[in-house]
Structure 1
Amino acid sequence: MQDAGWDKAQAGRLDVESVDVLFRAAGGTTGCSRWSAAASEVGFEHCPPLKPFPARRGKRLAPGWWWSATTGRLVHYGSAAMRLHVMLLDRDSRVSDLAARPLELRWCEPSGVRAHAPQLMLRLADGQGVLADCTAGAELSQRQRSLAAVIAEICAAVGWQYWVLGPVDPVYRRNVIWLAGYRHPRHHGGQQLAAALLEAFSESAPLWEGVRRIGIGCVNLTADLGC
């Protein structure tokens, strides 16, 4: 994670109280509220993506959906860098909920109205909100640094954080990719089978009787898992 506190002179000219936020409200309608109030009143982590990520010609990875063990639902991603960080955040004990692009911030500058829809919104275990953007590069451009400073100030004004999520150690990345495949419930049958074995042989009984009980349990387990 990179520090988003760059170019504070740029951000210092912003009237945070005038910032608006757009989000997808109940019933599919688009809501618009003052950010200062909505940040504590709206559960953005439960909102669907405000804007889907488009497929771009020439990109090796198309937009897709990541099944999150943290939320028990799919999270949209739009790039390889974003998919990687969704995967990492999905196993981060600090994160209790996450959503893809559920809101767009709008504010006024001397040059006109500006808008930005952060790629991710996180809810930490302590209740704090976090907005985040993902990048594959180690360095940000001047434009990106200026934008990050503004978003960081907008977040800080309501007690939130803003993260810029950059490159990840390749060894750590490969290990997490391998482990991530086992976070889906379809891989939890081993735990249930171990519990069934302990229950079947909790009392003294002929071996065949215990095997028969496990056989019945496996049939039920298979049905529960949809196999």
Structure 2
Amino acid sequence: MQTDTGSEWEAVFVDPVGQVVQQRWADAVLAVAFEDLEPVSAFPVVPGRRWGPGQWWSATTGRHVACGSAAMRAQLMVLDRDPEVVGLAGRPVRLLWRDARGQVRSWVPQLFARHRDGTAVLADCPSHPEAGGERAQRAARVLEEACVQAGWSYRRLEPLETTLAANLKWLAGYRHPRNAGRPPLAAAVREAFTQPRPLIEGTEAAGDPIEVLPAVFHALWHGHLTTPLDIPLHERVLVSTGAGAANGRSGPGSGNGR
């Protein structure tokens, strides 16, 4: 390993058969499907904290993703809706390097997301900008450089705005395919919102709201329908089959801190 300004970082991960592997970062980014790996280390349990480690069921992959905090869960919701994301994992890799004094340093990013084009994002999900202190800031600089070498990117994802987070949490409750409804119902839902109209009006036009509403929320989660997510969801919010940009979808580098 070279210093934090060098190019010989190393990756540590748990391979599919449960063995801990350490290899050159440059080799690992080409050969390892990090999105399929278990966490290289467990998320910490902090006594007294209201929200502890858990699992997020991903609509993108159909598998669970290890999740360590409410802030991370919020960012998982954003990534899980991003049509360019095809793989997700929690803490799948530890990066090792030496600092300017020759001491070995390490950092485990909280999130890994694989894009459709094969590139990837490593990310941390601080609950506030100063979380992790100077150590986190130094690690961020190293991770940014290591990811640039790999053709990837590293992000410290800003917490979501309260209304957006609440709306995504509500829609996430309908992300499972069981809420899509039978094909005729899904088609009726799309037809009902061909032109923008209040949510409740389109729902009633498609059928019994008890049956239709889950399909509407499922379609909103997956981007088949759109509505502004920067205002609270309610029965009169306008819904349509318009472009995905209107429904709160976003990719890395967007206004949601990605």
Normalised by the length of structure 2, the TM-score is: 0.67
The whole-number CA distance in structure 2 between the counterparts of 1:195 and 1:143 is 49
- Select the residue among 34, 41, 45 that pairs with 1:55: 45
- Give deviations 1:146-169, integer Å, cap 9, x for gaps: 221111011111211001111111
The whole-number CA distance in structure 2 between the counterparts of 1:161 and 1:154 is 9
Which structure has the highest helix share of the two?
1
Instruction: Report % sequence identity.
Output: 43
Is 1:144 matched with 2:159?
no
Secondary structure at the counterpart of residue 88 of structure 2: strand
The whole-number CA distance in structure 1 between the counterparts of 2:187 and 2:138 is 57
The whole-number CA distance in structure 1 between the counterparts of 2:77 and 2:187 is 31
- Give deviations 1:92-113, integer Å, cap 9, x for gaps: 1221111000111111121500
- Select the residue among 89, 100, 117 that pairs with 1:126: 117
Match of 1:35 in 2: 25
Is 1:65 matched with 2:55?
yes
Relative to structure 1, the CA distance from residue 119 to residue 13 in structure 2 (aligned partners, 3 Å threshold; closer, same or farther) is closer
- Give deviations 1:112-133, integer Å, cap 9, x for gaps: 0001111011101221011100
The whole-number CA distance in structure 2 between the counterparts of 1:196 and 1:154 is 46
CA shift for structure 1 position 48: 1.0
The residue identity in structure 1 corresponding to 2:71 is A
The whole-number CA distance in structure 1 between the counterparts of 2:186 and 2:70 is 38
Which structure has the highest strand share of the two?
1
Relative to structure 1, the CA distance from residue 164 to residue 34 in structure 2 (aligned partners, 3 Å threshold; closer, same or farther) is same
Structure 2 contact 45–52 (Cα < 8 Å) conserved: yes
Match of 2:105 in 1: 114
Structure 2 contact 4–142 (Cα < 8 Å) conserved: no
Match of 1:3 in 2: none
- Unpaired runs of at least 5, structure 2: 189-258
The whole-number CA distance in structure 1 between the counterparts of 2:5 and 2:18 is 31
- Unpaired runs of at least 5, structure 1: 1-11, 198-227
The whole-number CA distance in structure 2 between the counterparts of 1:24 and 1:13 is 23
The whole-number CA distance in structure 2 between the counterparts of 1:196 and 1:95 is 25
Structure 2 contact 14–20 (Cα < 8 Å) conserved: yes
Match of 2:163 in 1: 171
Equivalent pairs, count: 184
Q: Over the residues paired in the alignment, what is the CA RMSD in angstroms?
A: 2.0
Is 1:95 matched with 2:85?
yes
Relative to structure 1, the CA distance from residue 170 to residue 120 in structure 2 (aligned partners, 3 Å threshold; closer, same or farther) is same
Over alpha carbons, which structure has the higher Rg?
Answer: 1
Relative to structure 1, the CA distance from residue 171 to residue 37 in structure 2 (aligned partners, 3 Å threshold; closer, same or farther) is same
Normalised by the length of structure 1, the TM-score is: 0.75
CA shift for structure 1 position 172: 1.1
The whole-number CA distance in structure 1 between the counterparts of 2:4 and 2:73 is 34
